[in-house]
Amino acid sequence: MSYVRAEDILPKELIESIQQYVSGKTIYIPCKEKKIWGSQSKSKQYYEIRNHEICKKHSIGISIKKLANEYSLSEKSIQRILRTTIFTGEAAP
């Protein structure tokens, strides 16, 4: 997250109004439109494909321990992926 000086972008009247509530402090102003997690970096798609692969490998008999080693995850993480990922046996998204 980058910071922008209020004086560079806001009118003086608005700054004076905000100073009535908070002065000399850093405040966060949220975006109007919330972006979906992973939409810019494609990380959501990466994890969906990875989790699908894990489910597919587990369905053909690969153990949780081997999957944990292969994907550098804990066995608990593999169990959670298996429990929460919908696997239909079809190709990954």
**Is 93 part of a structural domain of the chain?**
no
pLDDT, tens digit (0-9, with 9 covering 90-100), for 60-69? 999 999 999 9
Domain count, the chain: 1
Task: Please tell me which residue, 89 or 60, carries the higher pLDDT value.
Answer: 60
Residue 55, Cβ density class (10 Å: 0-12 exposed, 13-18 middle, ≥19 buried): buried
The predicted model scores a pTM of: 0.58
**Is 90 part of a structural domain of the chain?**
no
Predicted local distance difference test score (pLDDT) of residue 44: 86
**Is 28 part of a structural domain of the chain?**
yes
**Is 35 part of a structural domain of the chain?**
yes
Which band of pLDDT confidence, cut at 50, 70 and 90, is reported for residue 1?
A: low
**Is 1 part of a structural domain of the chain?**
no
Average pLDDT score over the chain: 88
**Is 30 part of a structural domain of the chain?**
yes
Across the range 36-40, mean pLDDT stands at 74
Cα angle, residue 78 at apex, residues 55 and 62 outer, rounded to 5°: 55
